[in-house]
Chain A
Amino acid sequence: AQSVTQLGSHVSVSEGALVLLRCNYSSSVPPYLFWYVQYPNQGLQLLLKYTSAATLVKGINGFEAEFKKSETSFHLTKPSAHMSDAAEYFCAVKKSSGDKLTFGTGTRLAVRP
């Protein structure tokens, strides 16, 4: 069975500081990995996805994530936080065609002025 672990339910950074949100997965086969963002009272929006084409994936809003098979990790980073980045971030894994997404419990990012 697949699972996703997001370390840190709450992360707080200063505006302009590095953002690092951690995600580790377990999967019996090479997975597809996704990061979604959820702004207050809104649905989920895809930030980026890993589909085995490249290990470093660039997404929207300056975010990127690196797939590290040896560490079973897919951490999300952004070099410089902006106030508008304050939201909840979810890492998710999918095994195969048509399969459901298995989500982590989410990390709420706060950005301090």
Chain B
Amino acid sequence: GAGVSQSPSNKVTEKGKDVELRCDPISGHTALYWYRQRLGQGLEFLIYFQGNSAPDKSGLPSDRFSAERTGESVSTLTIQRTQQEDSAVYLCASSSGGGPHEQYFGPGTRLTVT
């Protein structure tokens, strides 16, 4: 079946512009996660959705970052007034449940802020 998809695959934007990143999870997966991977570093958790509510948004680095999810479907991560330090690969993952259930990752969106 179809995996997690993300769009765009690459995004180059000017400092100060807003960007919107999209994630389509695996159909039926109730949990959705956003992570950020900076060059040469591990993955940092940003936010977790269960359905369309976000019980854990502790990883969002600033109020410039926001995310929403429509039901148990698409999620969008919005970064306002982008800064150069926002340059990273943004990865989305979905899961059929918590605990031992694995998270399936999308290919990521590479964001470059110039």
Q: Are B100 and A43 in contact, CB atoms less than 8 angstroms apart?
A: no
Q: Report the separation of the CA atoms of residues A94 and B97 in the bound assembly, to the nearest whole angstrom.
A: 13
Q: Which residue of B lies closest to A92 (CB)?
A: B43
Q: Report the separation of the CA atoms of residues A51 and B98 in the bound assembly, to the nearest whole angstrom.
A: 12
Q: Are B98 and A102 in contact, CB atoms less than 8 angstroms apart?
A: no
Q: Are B99 and A104 in contact, CB atoms less than 8 angstroms apart?
A: no
Chain B residues with CB under 8 Å of A101's CB are 33, 35, 43, 45, 93, 103
Chain B residues with CB under 8 Å of A49's CB are 100, 102
Q: Are A90 and B42 in contact, CB atoms less than 8 angstroms apart?
A: yes
Chain A residues with CB under 8 Å of B100's CB are 32, 49, 51
Q: Report the separation of the CA atoms of residues A20 and B31 in the bound assembly, to the nearest whole angstrom.
A: 32
From B43, B56, B108, give the contact of A103 (CB < 8 A): B43
Chain B residues with CB under 8 Å of A44's CB are 43, 91, 93, 105
- Distance in angstroms from B37 CB to nearest chain A CB is 9
Q: Which residue of B lies closest to A6 (CB)?
A: B42
From A32, A51, A96, A103, give the contact of B42 (CB < 8 A): A103
From B31, B102, B107, give the contact of A34 (CB < 8 A): B102
Q: Are A43 and B107 in contact, CB atoms less than 8 angstroms apart?
A: yes
Q: Which residue of A lies closest to B41 (CB)?
A: A105
Q: Report the separation of the CA atoms of residues A96 and B35 in the bound assembly, to the nearest whole angstrom.
A: 18
Q: Report the separation of the CA atoms of residues A45 and B50 in the bound assembly, to the nearest whole angstrom.
A: 22
Q: Are A43 and B42 in contact, CB atoms less than 8 angstroms apart?
A: no
